[in-house]
Amino acid sequence: SLLLALSLLSPWGSAGGSCPPRCVCASNLLSCSQANLSAVPAPLPRFTAVLDLSHNNVTRLRADWAPARLPHLHALLLSHNGLAFVSTEAFTHVPRLRHLDLSSNRLRTLDENLFSDLGELEVLLLYNNEISTVDRTAFENLGRLRKLYLGQNRIARFPLELLREGTRLPQLALLDLSANRLRAVPAGELQALPAWLRDRLYLHNNPLTCDCLLFQLLDRGRRRHLSAVEDFQDELRCFPPGASALTKILDLAGKQPLNCSKAREAVLEAHLGDTVTLGCDSRWQGVRSRHWVMPGGERVLGDGGNGSVVLLANGSLQLRALRPEDGGTYSCWVAGPLLNETLYVELLVHNFTLHGPHDTLNTAYTTLVGCILSVVLVLIYLYLTPCRCCCCRGTEKPPAPRDDSINSSVLSTTPNHAGGAGEPCGSHIPSGAGTGQNGRFKGGGTPPLPARQGPKAQRKVSDPDSVSSVFSDTPIVV
């Protein structure tokens, strides 16, 4: 009965399912790695959260590999299986999947809507396959995807639809396209990508064709210390025109036949509603052509919408009535007689408007008035302190008796003086009235005792509130 109770308490011994043969189960983790499996074991416990099927012989992932819904499964590992086919309905029953590893298999194509059921997927590993074709809708509905690894495949065309306008993969922060068959990349549109994605865009070990736009894209990344460029400088190579050997892309500066020049950058700040002019001041004379590229990658051909973007005769770009979305990096491509040059202008649009001239004047006037009032208050405090005697301003206080110097010491909070016209109103207290601690009088001072005869006749009575009586009323015996 005890063993039966323990088996019922264990998730694997409950009605939810049992641990499949040749697998190791721990809590909600199911590991079937290196178990020489040719198919996914069945049935799978409903509460499985991590399923490791790596290093097996599962060559086909059909739609019925998970006949029941697995609502808790968030990690599926299928690397090193020789997997050559994945059904477009293979992930219908695992909608909560966040990590999918299909690396080191034999996948050749990514079909239409292959991963569209994985709306919560964050990491997708497809490296070290044989992928040569990527359908434009293969990554549809992956709104939370952050990392996509497509390295070590046979991709010859850059999948630009993954990045354009950030609509398909809005949260993508890493794209690995290294070790593929890419010969050309749209450098102008890549330059317009957000900084966090440019830092994680890996293009090394591709047979790229050398051009100055590609050089300037990577050179700018090196100067900005982007890890995707700095860490793989030796692997970033290209074929110069007419050459059969690869050369380092970052070594193209000032070398024939391209003789590329390094890109120049400028930063311009503006506010909402402003009109700014972005200059394209190239150092070359006799410029053959020049054109601007917007932050989103669009080439400026003429006036923008409602005339908000205007190409001036001197080659500058004027932006009118700035909006928050107008901020970003603008590129001016210049074709000179000897070199091609690129000028980048980073426009920062602050999300508020500048104060008008009247508002500025009012602000300065208010600040000046505040300073004057502060000075006046300080002077009043220093030289015109109000009299403490509110009722008797007309009467002069007589000087205190000479013998009361101890009673009116610094330690006493209230000066000692004899009763008279100089006292504050209502401060006359009859003699013997109002006693304090231990029967002592707690008035403004201590009434003098009759003079003593003898050598100690000049000793004065100590103040009961003096230092010797602050902490205790008991006499201190030495």
* Token pair recorded at residue 313: 């005769």
Nearest to 124 by CA among 132, 133, 111, 115: 115
165: confidence class by pLDDT, cuts 50, 70, 90:
low
Higher-confidence residue of 428 and 326: namely: 326
Task: Give the separation between CA 282 and CA 285, rounded to whole angstroms.
Answer: 8
Nearest to 261 by CA among 192, 309, 213: 213
283: confidence class by pLDDT, cuts 50, 70, 90:
low
Question: Tens of pLDDT along 361-376?
Answer: 456 667 888 889 888 8
Residue 129 confidence (pLDDT): 97
Residue linked to tokens 């790229």: 208
Give yes or no for a contact between 275 and 322, defined as CB atoms under 8 angstroms apart: yes
For the chain, which domains are there? 268-349 (2.60.40.10)
Task: Give the separation between CA 86 and CA 107, rounded to whole angstroms.
Answer: 8
C-alpha of 114 from chain center: 33
* Token pair recorded at residue 159: 């999948």
Residue 262 confidence (pLDDT): 72
304: confidence class by pLDDT, cuts 50, 70, 90:
low
DSSP state of 382: H
Burial 128-162 (b: 16+ CB within 10 A, else e): bbebbebeebbbeebeebbbbbbbbbebeebbebb
- 59 sits in the region (left: phi over 0; alpha: psi -120 to 50; else beta) called alpha
Nearest to 192 by CA among 220, 211, 212: 220
Q: 0.75 exceeded by the pTM?
A: no
Note the maximum CA span of the chain.
126
49: confidence class by pLDDT, cuts 50, 70, 90:
very high
Q: In the chain, pLDDT over 90 holds for what percent of residues?
A: 30
Mapping DSSP onto H, E and C, the string for 185-252 reads CCHHHHHCCCHHHHCCEECCCCCEECCHHHHHHHHHHHHCCCHHHHCCCCCCEEECCCCCCCEEHHHC
Question: 150 Cβ partners below 8 Å, 6+ apart?
Answer: 126, 127, 131, 134, 159, 175, 176, 177, 180
pLDDT mean over 292-296: 82
241: confidence class by pLDDT, cuts 50, 70, 90:
confident
Residue 429: CB atoms within 10 A of its CB come to: 14
* Token pair recorded at residue 86: 């994945």
Task: Give the separation between CA 179 and CA 173, rounded to whole angstroms.
Answer: 19
Question: Tens of pLDDT along 395-431?
Answer: 555 554 444 443 433 334 444 444 444 444 444 444 4
Phi, psi angle pair for 75, to nearest 5°: -140, 125
Nearest to 325 by CA among 297, 354, 349: 349
Residue 255 confidence (pLDDT): 77
Higher-confidence residue of 21 and 333: namely: 21
